Amino acid sequence: MKTVKTPADTRSSSASSVPLWRLLQATASAVQAVRAGRSLTAQLQSVPQVLRPGVQALSFHALRQLGQATALRELLASKAPPPAADALLCTALALCWDEARAPYPVHTLVNQVVEAARQQRSTQVQSGFINACLRRFMREREVLVGQTSGNPQAQWNHPLWWIDRLQADHPDHWQALLKMAQTPAPMTLRVNRQHHSVQSYQDALAAQGWACKPVGADGLQLDKAVPVHQLPGFEQGHVSVQDAAAQIAAPLLLQGWDSQQPWHVLDACAAPGGKTGHILEISPQAQVLALDVDEERCARIHENLERLGVKAQVRGADASMPKTWWDGQPFDAILLDAPCTASGIVRRHPDVRWLRRPTDSAQLAQVQTQLLKTLWPLLKVGGRLLYCTCSVFKLEGDDVIQAFLQRNTDATLHPSPGHLMPGNVPRGRPVEDNQLGEHDGFYYALLEKRQV
């Protein structure tokens, strides 16, 4: 029986040797679940802990190559086999079509995929078919791969509608965006300025042999990811894991304000609480109301704030229904991190590209528009509302804000990053350039309410 170390974390004792076919079965189940509309994060929760690191690593690889794999399967078998067998076959092709980047020797992968098919009731009948397809692929690899070269979904490993939208929205950057989506995202930390300066925490990491570089006002980007429990002072709230683009929100919302004032702040869609915590690190006296429509996700907010040693009022409530939660006291500042397609974070969540549908952006833009309309009256004159999404689609960014400004003459747009392409975040003030680099894609618009 072929056994392997799980590829994601061979340092852990829980990642003991397991049959590769079991990892491949679970990975194919993850691919099948994503195709059926289930998020990879949710699917991984059902994977046994001993398999999870390896299945996550293989699933990320498979989903980043699923467009190419699907195109190859269509050449090998024009009629798709049943979903479980198709997922297993496409998983195999995704993992082995590029031999230089295959996580295991291709012959090993093929043998173990066939074994996985034989060991699973839902694919036993198709095990011979899967074997025949993969053996043919190994014989005709160069020709078959060449035949997919004109297929955009195979070339870019994204749905065609997604490719078309990026071309329309970002004609100068769409290819770079698609290429970047294929690379793992860096691990970035937010240093809690109540405990450390960025430099002192960088020194603490260096003392443990971990190299990093400053990003943004409070961030450090690690050269190599490490388990969070190994970070100095993590449990004491000295540092948090947060992408550099997401770290822009709190300092942009509060820039120029006295950090010792008890500002009345609403974080309207707060879970899991990263931006809420950052607001309170910058302005410890702020009176923050953190909302999330999901009660279970509110528990995550509580956990994160408790670890940081800061306090906010956390409520499970729908931000679009203020009658159920608002006490009538207007806010000095509102952070609206609105629901979106998450098209800016596909490096971290490669399943997103396959979960989304062409109509999702328009539907979510309606939700975003309604939230802006509902929350704007809750803001004081002279107050600020920061609208942001982790999307690079203009339908969920510029389009929403320009329409809002046309309807609300009491709203002024402050200098803001706008559509922030994945790029390098400079030190110091919030990012002002949109060059490609090492952070997630976001959209930011800072609005101020004026007297009319």
340 is annotated as an active-site residue: no
Three-state DSSP class for residue 75:
helix
Neighbours of 427 (CB within 10 A): 11
Q: What is the DSSP letter of 417?
A: -
Q: What is the DSSP letter of 394?
A: G
CA atoms of 376 and 447, how far apart (whole Å): 10
232-236 contacts at long range (C-beta below 8 A, 24 or more positions apart)? 232/201, 232/204, 232/205, 232/208, 233/195, 233/196, 233/204, 235/307, 236/195, 236/307, 236/309
The residue length of the chain stands at: 452
Beta bridge partners of 316: 292
Q: φ and ψ at 447, to 5 degrees?
A: -110, 140
CA atoms of 181 and 186, how far apart (whole Å): 12
**What does DSSP say about strands 287-292 and 264-267: parallel, antiparallel, or unpaired?**
parallel
Of 5, 4, 48, which is closest to residue 26 (Cα–Cα)?
48
Number of H helices, E strands in the chain: 17, 14
CA atoms of 166 and 172, how far apart (whole Å): 10
My answer on whether omega of the bond before 322 falls inside 30° of 0, hence cis, is no
Fill in the amino acid letter for 136: R
Neighbours of 432 (CB within 10 A): 12
CA atoms of 241 and 259, how far apart (whole Å): 23
Q: Which residues are identified as catalytic? A: 390
